């Protein structure tokens, strides 16, 4: 059962400019916006990199290696945040004058995540003068110690939550350190390393390094920051909204690396109208596919490529991997949902465990994160999806959470309360990764449900879906949809507006095998509107009667030079049923 609940106002709409559309003021007040300045998103409003604990030390170490002509090795991660972090670091270091700036990323299936001792050994063989981790390292104690003991300083840049102690690195830059005063607690890995590169440039400037060479404009790398930030689904707080919006502005102006341009073109997106959702659903999955199925190196090379033709070739390779990823994902998703629905039949009514675990012996390790996200969206519960290692001795999993349940804290509580159930884990509020012995699967499932149950409120148990209320007939306009686009970027922690109206479904047809194309007429003499419900057949929405309650986003559909208003449906419920509560 899903209960529709109107999002409460966090500030007073009357405090916002009267010239703004009333719906815009209502939406922004529900997200705590109190003034026009909150939406200015000026780069000058970003906190200085100097506020990052160890930021100056990291900058000095890296800058000294650049000045001495030494070799810098970047150790990355195999997801989109890791790939963009890696590409940004290498591009920035080269533009700053590094003689040698290379990268190393562990293969997911051979080495696992992070700066492990095995990867540290590979890194050591390359003879670096400093190793810089991006989007990893905060829990890599053995790997860091191996390099430091061998005389190679390590600079950790990460955004994941630290454990009980920090690695013994020469510098550890992570805004989530307990002693870090930087306000960017929700920075993605790419955002952290971007700040570090700004600090390196400032250090070199102070040292007179740019007296004989051009000082690079690192703002040119904000396209990578925007992509990695959106892809990692971190909270779009004030800091991240500035970074993403500034990156999107560069993308819309065509000022982006050829690899991102090639991926945008391949996805059929209009660069002039690009938004955060395009990055999340069209560009990031293609980049992520390489790390999920094969080796993220092809993705990083795409982002590092300066030749558009070569970048297009690499983008096509990523697209092929993404098509294969979608095929595997579809089977795993269907199996996972069927497993939970079978579990649901064991409970009274629509009850389910607070935390859901899904697993199958033939699942692909690289796809479990996506499956966890799909199941989370379907059942509105925190989810862990697990797949066995080749030897069958362990299960590797990905966890996805919902607002109000901090996933990394949940795993930490399980580890503390039930030692030995989890072998390794790490992550942040909305996503995490873990490994556990196969024999501990049942114990983990029980513990996960127990710990999540202690942390959830009625909005989770009852499946609340927050919306921004109904639209009046006169509000269904391209002008309002365009205005809401200008208020973006929307994303995690700053959700895109969802509205809800009762409608009469006049036409319906299945498109793309799983989607539902609709023509609807909102009650109250509203205009006839086009609507699209993606993956509608997964939810059985094709059987809904003519009277329905739609929860939707306003969107603009561009086709053959024409602009039309379209509703992107998030939920459909039979309008004659009492199971779906009224907006309040």
d(CA 141, CA 369): 25
The pLDDT tens digits for 180-205 are 999 999 999 999 999 999 999 999 99
Binning pLDDT at 50, 70 and 90, where does residue 584 land? very low
With H, G, I as helix, E, B as strand and everything else as coil, classify residue 467. Answer: strand
373-409 burial, b for 16+ CB within 10 Å, e for fewer? bbbbebbbbbbbbbbbeeeeebbbbbbbbbeebbbbb
For 315-345, give one letter per residue: b (16+ CB within 10 A) or e: bebbbebbeebeebbeebbeebbebbeeeee
Please state the domain extents for the chain.
3-7+464-574, 49-319, 347-461
pLDDT surpassing 90 at residue 540: no
* Distance, CA of 581 to CA of 578 (rounded, Å): 7
What confidence tier does 364 reach under pLDDT thresholds 50, 70, 90?
very high
Which of 51-60, 345-354, 466-475, 484-493 shows the highest mean pLDDT?
A: 51-60
pLDDT at 342: 87
Burial class (CB in 10 A: 0-12, 13-18, 19+), 83: buried
**Model confidence band, residue 462 (pLDDT cutoffs 50, 70, 90):** low
Q: In 10 A of CB 578, how many CB atoms?
A: 7
Between 69-83, 337-351, 539-553, the lowest mean confidence (pLDDT) is in 337-351
Higher pLDDT pick, 242 / 273: 242
The torsion region of residue 503 among left (phi > 0), alpha (psi -120 to 50) and beta comes to beta
Which residues lie across from 499 on neighbouring strands?
552
Q: How far apart are CA 369 and CA 333, in angstroms?
A: 11
Task: Quote the Cα angle for 228-234-237, to 5°.
Answer: 110
Lowest mean pLDDT of 86-95, 169-178, 528-537, name the range: 528-537
For 287-309, give the DSSP string: HHHHHHHS-THHHHHHHH---HH
Question: Is a pLDDT exceeding 80 seen at residue 581?
Answer: no
Task: Please check the confidence at residue 350 and state whether its pLDDT lies above 60.
Answer: no
Residue with tokens 């208020």: 487
Kindly indicate the confidence band of residue 282, based on its pLDDT and cuts at 50, 70 and 90.
very high
Cβ of 158: how many Cβ atoms within 10 Å?
A: 30
- pLDDT tens digits for 200-221? 999 999 999 999 999 999 999 9
Contacts 24+ apart (CB under 8 A), 533-539: 533/569, 533/572, 534/568, 534/569, 536/569, 536/572, 537/510, 537/513, 538/337, 538/378, 538/514, 539/378, 539/572
How high is the pLDDT of residue 578? 40
* CATH fit for domain 3-7+464-574, picks 2.40.50.460, 3.50.50.60, 1.20.140.10, 1.10.10.10: 2.40.50.460
Q: Residue 427: what pLDDT? A: 83
CA distances from 584 to 13, 393, 467, 470, 581 (A): 18, 50, 10, 10, 9
What is the share, in percent, of the chain residues with pLDDT greater than 90? 75
- The pLDDT assigned to 523 comes to 87
> Could you read off the pLDDT of 232-253 as tens digits, one per residue?
989 999 999 999 999 999 999 9
pLDDT digit string (tens) for 293-329? 888 999 999 999 999 999 999 999 999 999 999 999 9
- Give me the residue label for tokens 């991997």: 321
pLDDT at 347: 62
Answer whether residue 39 shows pLDDT above 90: no
Instruction: Decide if domain 49-319 falls under CATH 3.90.1640.30.
Output: yes
What are the phi and psi torsion angles at 241 (to 5°)?
A: -65, -35
Write down the pTM of the prediction. Answer: 0.89
Q: Which CATH architecture has domain 347-461?
A: Roll (3.10)
Query: pLDDT tens for residues 395-419?
Result: 999 999 988 899 999 999 999 999 9
Res 583: pLDDT: 44
Closest CA to 161 of 337, 518, 491, 406: 406
- Site of tokens 């815009």: 24
**Contact call for residues 194 and 88 (beta carbons, < 8 A):** yes
Which tokens hold the place of 253?
């102006």
Taken in order 473, 476, 477, 483, the sign of the CA dihedral is: positive
């Amino acid at each position: 059962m899903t209960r529709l609940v109107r999002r409460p106002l966090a500030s007073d709409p009357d405090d916002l400019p009267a010239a703004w559309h009333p719906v815009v003021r209502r939406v922004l007040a529900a997200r705590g916006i109190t003034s026009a300045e909150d939406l200015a998103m000026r780069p000058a409003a970003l906190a200085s990199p100097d506020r990052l604990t160890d930021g100056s030390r990291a900058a000095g170490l890296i800058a000294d290696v650049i000045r001495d002509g030494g070799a810098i090795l970047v150790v990355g991660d195999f997801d989109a945040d890791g790939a963009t972090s890696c590409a940004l670091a290498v591009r920035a270091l080269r533009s700053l004058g590094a003689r040698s700036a290379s990268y190393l990323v562990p293969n997911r299936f051979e080495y696992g995540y992070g700066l492990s001792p095995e990867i540290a050994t590979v890194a050591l063989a390359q003879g670096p003068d400093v190793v810089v981790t991006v989007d990893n390292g905060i829990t890599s104690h053995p790997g860091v110690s191996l390099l430091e003991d061998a005389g190679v300083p390590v600079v950790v840049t990460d955004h994941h939550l630290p454990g009980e102690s920090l690695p013994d690195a020469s510098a550890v830059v992570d805004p989530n350190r307990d002693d870090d005063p930087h306000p960017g607690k929700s920075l993605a890995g790419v955002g952290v390393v971007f700040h570090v590169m700004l600090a390196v440039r400032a250090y070199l400037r102070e040292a007179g390094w740019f007296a004989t060479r051009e000082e690079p404009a690192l703002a040119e790398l904000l396209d990578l920051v925007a992509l990695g930030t959106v892809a990692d689904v971190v909270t779009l707080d004030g800091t991240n909204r500035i970074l993403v919006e500034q990156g999107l502005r560069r993308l819309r102006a065509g000022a982006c690396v050829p690899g991102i341009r090639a991926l945008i073109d391949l996805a059929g997106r209009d660069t002039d109208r690009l938004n955060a959702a395009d990055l999340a659903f069209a560009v990031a999955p293609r980049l992520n596919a390489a790390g999920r199925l094969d080796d993220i190196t092809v993705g990083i090379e795409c982002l590092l490529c300066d030749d558009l033709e070569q970048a297009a070739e690499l983008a096509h390779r990523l697209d092929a991997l993404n098509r294969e990823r979608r095929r595997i994902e579809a089977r795993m998703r269907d199996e996972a949902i069927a497993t939970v629905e079978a579990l649901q039949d064991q409970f009274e009514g629509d009850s389910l465990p607070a935390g859901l675990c899904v697993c199958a012996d033939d699942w692909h390790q690289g796809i479990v994160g996506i499956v966890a996200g799909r199941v989370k969206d379907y059942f509105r519960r925190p989810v862990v999806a697990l797949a066995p290692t080749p030897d069958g001795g362990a299960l590797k999993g990905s966890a996805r959470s919902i607002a109000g349940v901090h996933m990394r804290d949940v795993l930490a509580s399980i580890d503390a309360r039930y030692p030995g159930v989890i072998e390794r884990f790490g992550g942040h509020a909305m996503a995490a990764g873990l490994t556990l012995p196969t024999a501990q699967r049942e114990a983990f499932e029980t513990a996960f449900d127990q710990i999540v149950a202690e942390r959830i409120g009625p909005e989770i148990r009852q499946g609340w879906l927050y919306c921004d209320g109904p639209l009046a007939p006169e509000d269904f306009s391209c002008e309002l949809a365009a205005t809401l686009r200008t208020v973006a970027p929307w994303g995690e922690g700053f959700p895109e507006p969802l509205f809800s109206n009762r409608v009469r479904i006049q036409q319906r047809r299945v498109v793309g095998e799983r989607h539902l194309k609709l023509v609807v007429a909102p009650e109250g003499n509203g205009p006839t509107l086009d609507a699209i419900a993606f993956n509608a057949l997964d939810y059985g929405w094709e059987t809904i009667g003519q009277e329905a309650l739609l929860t939707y986003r306003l969107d603009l559909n561009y086709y053959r030079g024409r602009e039309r208003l379209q509703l992107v449906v998030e939920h459909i419920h039979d309008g004659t049923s009492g199971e779906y509560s009224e907006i309040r």
